[in-house]
């Protein structure tokens, strides 16, 4: 009897393994003969340029100081470092020998030309939603406009067995919903266009949605906010921490210019999303993104008008005459208030620190990053910078300013262990 059970269990296991092997197997695809110039339509190439910008391909596929698109950009994941690959048209070290079909399989199924599973540090779980036409256009752009560059691929730093690509097939089975975007007929065309862009090529959820222990975005916590490179990517839904509710217009303005008056500016990892990416999209697409995102948080905080909230924040923000008593307040007045001086009219370039998300989030990380390193010209609003205070202030002083702003400008609970957090972020 026991023998029978064991034999049947073994057969079942073999069948399952066989089925998995069939599922996991993908054939290699033919190389495109080198030297064959493929011809592409100019319009397709131009459309591809815009879509590739909106997918930040170049940001992730270019190492600091490296050739554009030639890979080796290190992506630090919870499991180890994965290096992006060379996707220039170089036939040996890049994707010059990849057919349009092989490229499409990589984008939509996360499988490379030789049939190996790609790691989800490459956000193919979002790109799978892209239409065939958009993927073909990106291919046309890369093959005709990106300069071929040779490179030597760095080895990923992943522990065994996580480095085994075959395991990725299991990960896909669990977490990836392959397939093109399907319109929701209940919603407007604009909403659908926004959803297509946000969930697909621009993959906002890759940073703004928390991940589970296996590194997959958690569907039930879509846009609840997450940590990336020790920054907080704030929630983009009803739990967003900003004092003033984001409207469709705020979202599209922020994504076009890198900041809005009633919110903050796009610093840290959000900088390239705007400046190397979304800014290329036509206004109609940015509006569609705004419409889709605003619909995610429509039901909250409809009471007060932005003008009232800003006025109340400004009133709270006036340093007291006795400011010399409190170290945080004294440092704020001398280091920050000359620019963040709470005038009646908040200026676009100088966010009011009471309404800015950085002072209101559950983690102080974004505020600390900005105090230490400022906001560079490639981040936030173009042509406007904030200097950093890394060498002028020590950890305890940065912590004192952060604690002061939190206490006097927001109704949120104090941040614990601020001093330690500042030193960890300084070292990061």
Contact 227, 363 (CB under 8 A): yes
Q: Which of 186, 220, 302, 338 binds ligand HEC (CB under 6 A)?
A: 338
Q: Which is nearer to ligand HEC, 20 or 80 (CB)?
A: 80
Query: How far, in Å, CA of 365 to CA of 232, rounded?
Result: 7
Q: Which residues contact 389 (CB under 8 A, 6 or more apart)?
A: 335, 371, 372, 374, 398
384 binds ligand HEC (CB under 6 A): yes
Contact 251, 294 (CB under 8 A): yes
**Nearest partner of 424 among 379, 364, 374, judged by Cα:** 364
Binding part of the chain for ligand HEC, among 18-26, 173-181, 269-277, 279-287 by CB under 6 A, reads 269-277
Binding part of the chain for ligand HEC, among 3-11, 174-182, 198-206, 414-422 by CB under 6 A, reads 198-206
262 binds ligand HEC (CB under 6 A): no
Nearest-approach distance from CB 233 to ligand HEC, in angstroms? 4
Q: Which of 47, 104, 105, 208 binds ligand HEC (CB under 6 A)?
A: 208
Q: Which is nearer to ligand HEC, 8 or 229 (CB)?
A: 229
Nearest-approach distance from CB 325 to ligand HEC, in angstroms? 19
Binding part of the chain for ligand HEC, among 173-181, 201-209, 210-218, 413-421 by CB under 6 A, reads 201-209
Q: What does the chain come to in residues?
A: 428
Residue with tokens 């400008």: 409
- 311-331: burial string, b at 16+ Cβ within 10 Å, e else: eebbeebebeeebeebebbbb
Q: Which of residues 50-89 bind ligand HEC (CB under 6 A)?
A: 52, 55-57, 60-61, 75, 82, 84-85, 87
Binding part of the chain for ligand HEC, among 10-18, 34-42, 197-205, 298-306 by CB under 6 A, reads 197-205
Number of residues that bind ligand HEC (CB under 6 A): 77
Note the Cα 93 to chain centre separation in Å: 27
**Nearest partner of 122 among 132, 102, 108, judged by Cα:** 108
259 binds ligand HEC (CB under 6 A): yes
Q: Which of 32, 62, 70, 119 binds ligand HEC (CB under 6 A)?
A: 119
3-state secondary structure (DSSP) of residue 295: helix
Query: How far, in Å, CA of 64 to CA of 395, rounded?
Result: 28
Q: Which of residues 282-311 bind ligand HEC (CB under 6 A)?
A: 289, 293
Q: Which is nearer to ligand HEC, 187 or 239 (CB)?
A: 239
Nearest-approach distance from CB 340 to ligand HEC, in angstroms? 5
Query: Dihedral (C-alpha) 223, 227, 231, 234: value to the nearest 10 degrees?
Result: 20
Q: Which of 32, 207, 281, 288 binds ligand HEC (CB under 6 A)?
A: 207
> Which residues are 211's β-sheet partners?
217
Q: Which of residues 125-184 bind ligand HEC (CB under 6 A)?
A: 138
Phi-psi region of 274 (alpha: psi -120 to 50; beta: other; left: phi over 0): alpha
Q: Which of 24, 29, 32, 106 binds ligand HEC (CB under 6 A)?
A: 106
Binding part of the chain for ligand HEC, among 2-10, 225-233, 303-311, 320-328 by CB under 6 A, reads 225-233
Give the tokens for residue 428.
């990061």
Query: How far, in Å, CA of 127 to CA of 300, rounded?
Result: 30
């Amino acid at each position: 009897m026991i023998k029978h059970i064991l034999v049947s269990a073994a057969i079942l296991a073999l069948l399952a393994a066989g089925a998995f092997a069939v599922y996991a197997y993908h054939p290699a695809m033919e190389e495109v003969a080198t030297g064959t110039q493929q011809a592409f339509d100019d319009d397709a190439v131009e459309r591809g340029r815009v879509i590739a910008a909106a997918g930040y391909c170049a940001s992730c596929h270019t190492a600091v100081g490296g050739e554009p698109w030639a890979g080796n950009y290190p992506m630090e994941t919870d499991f180890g470092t994965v290096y992006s690959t060379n996707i220039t048209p170089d036939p040996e070290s890049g994707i010059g020998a990849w057919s349009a079909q092989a490229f499409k399989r990589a984008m939509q199924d996360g499988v490379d030309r030789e049939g190996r599973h790609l790691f989800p540090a490459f956000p193919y779980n979002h790109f799978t939603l892209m239409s065939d036409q958009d993927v073909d256009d990106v291919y046309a752009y890369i093959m005709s406009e990106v300069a071929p560059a040779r490179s030597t691929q760095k080895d990923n730093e992943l522990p065994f067995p996580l480095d085994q690509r075959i395991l990725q097939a299991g990960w896909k089975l669990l977490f990836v919903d392959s397939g093109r975007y399907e319109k929701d007929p209940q919603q407007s065309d604009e909403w659908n266009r926004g959803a297509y862009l946000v969930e697909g090529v621009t993959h906002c959820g890759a940073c703004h949605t928390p991940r589970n222990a296996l590194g997959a975005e958690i569907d039930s916590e879509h846009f609840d906010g997450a940590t990336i490179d020790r920054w907080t990517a704030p929630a983009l839904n009803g739990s967003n921490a900003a004092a003033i509710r984001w409207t469709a217009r705020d979202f599209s303005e922020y994504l076009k210019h890198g900041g809005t008056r009633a919110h903050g500016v796009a610093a840290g990892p959000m900088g390239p999303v705007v400046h190397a990416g979304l800014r290329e999209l036509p206004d109609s697409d940015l509006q569609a993104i705004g419409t889709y995102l605003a619909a995610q948080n429509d039901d909250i905080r409809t009471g007060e008008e932005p003008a009232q909230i800003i006025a109340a924040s400004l009133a709270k923000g006036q340093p007291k005459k006795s400011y010399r008593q409190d170290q945080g307040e004294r440092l704020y007045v001398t280091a920050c208030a000359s620019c963040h001086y709470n005038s009646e009219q908040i200026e676009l370039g100088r966010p009011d620190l009471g309404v800015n998300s950085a002072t209101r989030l559950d983690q102080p990380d974004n505020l600390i990053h900005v105090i230490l390193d400022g906001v560079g010209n490639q981040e936030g609003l173009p042509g406007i910078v904030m200097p950093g205070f890394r060498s002028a202030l020590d950890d305890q002083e940065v912590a004192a300013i952060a604690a002061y702003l939190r206490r006097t400008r927001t109704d949120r609970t104090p941040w614990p262990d601020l001093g330690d957090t500042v030193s960890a972020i300084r070292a990061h």
